Amino acid sequence: MASLNASRVAALKKVALLADLDESDLQILAAAAVPRRYGPGEMVFSEGDPCEGLYVVESGLVKLFKVSASEREQVLTLEGPGASVAELPVFDGGNYPASASAEHASELLFIGKKDIRGLCLEHPQVALKVLRVVSARLRRLVAIVEELSFTTVQHRLAAYLLREARSRGKRTPDGVEFTFTISNQELASRIGTVRELVSRNLSRLQAAGLIKRDGRTVATPRP
């Protein structure tokens, strides 16, 4: 049990909201945290569900997303180890404003809102960090709205390809090469469009010589 608690404390230490807490406070929070495991694609919570607390990603990857009335999905963010998820409804008393699912096999720690609120009352610096995290999320959402409102699908697709090339590309004689790890449907949900337009615009970028494709391998000019 001690080693298990130590593992949870180590996971909590990585969370921006909790990084300044001393060991004794982290031990108390770790004891209150409930571990939950999710398989790929399994829902963590759905939009509109009552919020019972927040989640800390211990391992894996969590996708936060919205689904339209026509069942089109828009990915808001992907959160990995050390991230906290669903801070806002813990404090405003509302339901979860978006849905979350495990992108891969994931291990999360669930912390009830009573424990989080109590922590903020006892440690005001935690409340300030919550504001910083929520503000950063708001800025990201504003950027998504701006991108969807003022740019074309081709522009968003090209920007996504360049980000992928910069983050995990490998230099080759053809430029910077990387392998698609997601389907065109998932890519569409990340850039705010439909699968058909992703396929069409990938073909247009290739025809214009801006990318080279070989199956799931894509090469872009050096970023």
Beta bridge partners of residue 43, listed in sequence order: 101
| Angle, vertex CA 88, rays to CA 131 and CA 117, nearest 5 | 80
| pLDDT score of 130 more than 90 | no
DSSP β-ladder status, 106-112 and 34-38: antiparallel
Predicted pLDDT at 131: 83
pLDDT per residue as tens digits for the range 170-201: 888 878 899 888 889 999 999 999 999 999 99
The stretch 149-175 carries a mean pLDDT of 88
Q: Name the band, by pLDDT with cuts 50, 70 and 90, for residue 222.
A: low
Digit-coded pLDDT (tens) for 24-81: 888 888 888 999 999 999 999 999 999 999 999 999 999 999 998 888 899 999 999 9
Domain extent listing, the chain? 2-150, 153-220
Return the closest-CA partner of residue 15 out of 1, 31, 26: 26
CB atoms within 10 A of CB 124: 9
Percent of the chain with pLDDT strictly greater than 70: 97
Q: Model pTM?
A: 0.79
- Cα separation, 221 vs 85, in Å, equals 36
Give pLDDT, residue 216: 85
Helix, coil or strand: residue 3: helix
In CATH, which of 3.30.590.20, 1.10.10.10, 1.10.260.40, 3.30.70.3040 is domain 153-220? 1.10.10.10
Q: Which CATH topology does 2-150 take?
A: Jelly Rolls (2.60.120)
Alpha helices in the chain (DSSP H): 2-13, 23-32, 87-92, 113-122, 124-150, 153-168, 184-191, 195-207
